[in-house]
Amino acid sequence: MRKKKGVRIKRGLLAFIALLFASATALAGEYRLVIDETRVNITGQERMAMTINGTAPGPALRWREGEEVTLRVTNRLMKSARRFSG
């Protein structure tokens, strides 16, 4: 029994679409963020400031539309200061 050419084209097209979808939803990475208060010196005078991973401002997080990312956030701020939305 001989396969028709149209069947091969449809299978190839389906495989191509699946490959595109898989690459469009690829995992862009995992980010670990620690929110804490740390002594910083920005103006020549030390003071306490909220930092992310020990820096103020925190790290730049960039990814493309459609990419999946995992954010793991550890909040070490005082209990009364805990308010994180995003």
What DSSP line would sit under 28-40, residue for residue? EEEEEEEEEEEEE
| E strand segments, the chain | 27-41, 46-52, 68-75
Calpha distance 27→17 (Å, rounded): 18
Pick the CATH number of 5-81 from 3.40.30.10, 3.40.50.620, 2.60.40.420, 3.40.50.300: 2.60.40.420
Looking at the whole model, is its pTM more than 0.75? Answer: no
Supply the pLDDT for residue 45. 92
Supply the pLDDT for residue 28. 74
Give per-10-residue mean pLDDT for the chain (86 aa): 58 60 61 91 89 88 87 85 57
Count of CA atoms in the C-beta half-sphere (13 A) of 29: 7
CB 52 within 8 A of CB 31: no
The amino acid at residue 29 is G
Supply the pLDDT for residue 23. 47
Supply the pLDDT for residue 3. 54
